[in-house]
Amino acid sequence: MTGWTLNEKNLVATAAAAAPSVHNTQPWVLEFHEDHEVRLYERLDRPLPHHDPLGRDRLISCGAALEHVRLAMRILGWLPQIALRHDGARVTTTGRAEPSTVDRRRHGAIVARHSHRRPFAARPVAAALRAELLTAHHTDGVGVRRLYDDETPALARLLHHAALALRADDAYQRELAAWTAPVRDPLPGAGVSSAIRRTSTLPWGGLVRRTTMVPDVPTLTGRLRGELILLLETPDDGPFDHVRAGTAAEQIWLAAVDTGLAGALSTQPFQLHEVRAGLVEALSLSGFPQLMLRFGHQV
């Protein structure tokens, strides 16, 4: 039986804490066990009943944290193996190996990753980068669907509807306010920054507040056409699918950061049944859409 050193625990815990989570609630807890095993459990004491009534975003967040744990263990020279269980996720080791160059670069991208809440530069993502991101994840059971220019009007209509619905939802707005911290950089688990209120957020890339300006559908369509937009879908819509979607999304996002792109993950619109159903119909999806990733170059 071999244990963890304090430095090893700190490396893994710090990586997990840097994972994106819904409203920055950090809805997970880590346990360190013998033989370099890590267990990640979903925290049920940080519910968001109006934003995330089914807990889907909470599990997507846990999936992103799992990817950070995996990368940290690779940096420590372990070969991690993830098993999803009904009582949480178990990360065990199958041996030792030096981390690859990709492992090191993706782990390094963790500290550089942040949500880009402004328009991207008017420079399209190169075809080679688009192709790289479409194959950047290695999570079974998750499909990646790129949106093309002729599909953006349908997406714009659905996102426009979602933004108006969330902006007018009193319960949603009270819940968001409760998870808003009066600092620019809240600690992990302390909510989102109140500074976001004072920026010109975009309703498909940032949090929808009372003051969020929602562009009309033609304007929104034009803006979407300047971005690389990826939809992640799963064959089913159970808890394991949600965790896997979060893991795959974070793998893609870190790969994008490593190439110099800015990005953001959006799940808010997917909480509305009519938006998810509309995406399936408009895009002829074969699975369940779980989230949207946006990428581009910073201004």
Domain harbouring 292, CATH code = 3.40.109.10
Residue 1 lies in a domain: no
Which domain range does residue 275 map to? 127-296
Give the tokens for residue 124: 């399209």
The domain boundary residue, chosen from 64, 82, 112: 112
Amino acid at 241: D
Q: Are 81 and 29 contained in the same domain?
A: yes
What are the pLDDT tens digits along the chain (299 aa)?
468 999 999 999 999 999 999 999 999 999 999 999 999 999 999 999 999 999 999 999 999 999 999 999 999 999 999 999 999 999 999 999 999 999 999 999 999 999 988 889 989 999 999 999 999 999 999 999 999 999 999 999 999 999 999 999 999 999 999 998 887 778 777 778 776 555 445 555 568 888 888 889 999 999 899 899 999 999 999 999 999 999 999 999 999 999 999 999 999 999 999 999 999 999 999 999 999 999 999 98
Place of tokens 């426009």: 160
Long-range contacts of 50-54 (CB under 8 A, 24+ apart): 50/169, 50/171, 50/172, 50/174, 50/175, 51/22, 51/23, 51/172, 51/175, 51/176, 51/268, 51/271, 52/22, 52/271, 53/271
Domain harbouring 42, CATH code = 3.40.109.30
Q: Are 105 and 172 contained in the same domain?
A: no
Residue 134 lies in a domain: yes
Alpha helices in the chain (DSSP H): 6-17, 56-75, 101-112, 127-134, 152-167, 170-178, 217-224, 239-258, 273-283
The domain boundary residue, chosen from 63, 79, 112: 112
Give the tokens for residue 244: 């896997």
Single pTM value for the model: 0.94
Give the tokens for residue 154: 């349908």
Residue 249 lies in a domain: yes
Q: Are 83 and 197 contained in the same domain?
A: no
Q: Between 273-283 and 152-167, two packed helices, what is the crossing angle to 10 degrees?
A: 180
The domain boundary residue, chosen from 81, 112, 143: 112
Residue 31: strand pairing partners: 39
Q: Which residues contact 282 (CB under 8 A, 6 or more apart)?
A: 151, 154, 155, 158
